[in-house]
Amino acid sequence: MTADFPTYPDLTGKVALITGIGQVGLPNSKTWGNGAATARVLSYNGVKIYGCDLHLKAAEYTQQRLLKDTPQAVVDVVTTDVTNTADVSKFVEAALTKHGRIDVLINNVGMTTPGDPGTMEEAAWLKQIDLNLHSVFRLPQMAYASAKAAVIQFTKAAGCMYASKGIRLNAVVPGLMFTPLVETLGASDKEEDREVFRKITEHNVPMGVMGESIDVANAAVFLCSNAAKYMTAHALVVDGGITAATGTGG
Alpha-carbon distance of 177 to 189, in angstroms, equals 21
- DSSP readout, 80-128? --TT-HHHHHHHHHHHHHHHS---EEE-------S--TTT--HHHHHHH
Query: Burial code of 59-86, b = ≥16 C-beta within 10 A, e = fewer?
Result: bbbbbebbeeebeebbbebbbbbbeeee
The residues with which 52 forms a beta bridge, in sequence order, are: 19, 78
Alpha-carbon distance of 127 to 68, in angstroms, equals 35
Q: Is 144 a catalytic residue?
A: yes
Among residues 8, 50, 61, 144, the one annotated as catalytic is 144
Q: Which are the catalytic amino acids?
A: 144
